[in-house]
Amino acid sequence: VGPSSIIDIASNSDNNRYSILDNKRGRIFTYDIEGHLLYISGQLGTQNNMLQGPTSVTYFGEKILVTDNVTKSIVVFEPTRFGELINSATKAYYEMDYETARVHWQEVISENSNYFLAYAGIGKTDLRRQDYKQAITNLKLGHDYYNYSKAYQEYRNQQLKKSLPFVIIVVFIATGYGL
């Protein structure tokens, strides 16, 4: 009951992700540098690898380490295959390796077709590749309305460039016969 109690924050060595620690529920929320929630780890409990009194969080490579004041221990969280794919995709995207990011995001979708950030990631790659029609589809699925608007605007401009000369010719012909 009640709001979370955020007590610590840590950034990974690549600086493309950061995690915050919620003392009240024993959860670790991991975000990308744009502030999108990537995944949630941990929980309070008395079983192995559960937190009882989390006090701090840090990264050790891809692992997340949490100190526990009650058990006087360090709990190590390793990413699952799904988490590794998300980490790889975000890292590739922020290193501007968009094709590799696209491949990883597609793998994420094959694991969980409801993970909307993967669609947004693919849509951003489509936008950079100037495949605006496909970008519109993926960005809509990814709920990325800012980039969706950019893709739609570019797609509309692309279609106008294709059809505008024909419209102008038809208007000239129609006005020429009207004189």
Q: For the full predicted model, state whether its pTM sits above 0.85.
A: no
Using CA atoms, how far apart are residues 39 and 12, in angstroms rounded to an integer?
15
List the pLDDT tens digit at each of the 179 positions of the chain: 789 899 999 999 887 899 999 999 999 999 999 999 999 999 988 887 789 999 999 999 999 999 999 999 999 999 999 999 999 999 999 999 999 999 999 999 999 999 999 999 999 999 999 999 999 999 999 999 999 999 999 999 998 888 888 888 888 888 876 55
Element housing 73 (H / E):
strand 73-77
- Eight-state DSSP code of residue 51: B
Q: Which amino acid is at 74?
A: I
Pair of tokens at residue 24: 């009240």
Give Cβ neighbours of residue 54 (< 8 Å, ≥ 6 apart).
7, 21, 22, 23, 26, 42, 66, 67, 68, 69, 75
Q: Cβ(35)–Cβ(80) under 8 Å?
A: no
- Predicted pLDDT of residue 177: 64
| Helix or strand (DSSP H, E) at 154 | helix 145-178
- What pLDDT was estimated at residue 66? 95
**Distance between CA 139 and CA 133 in Å, rounded?**
10
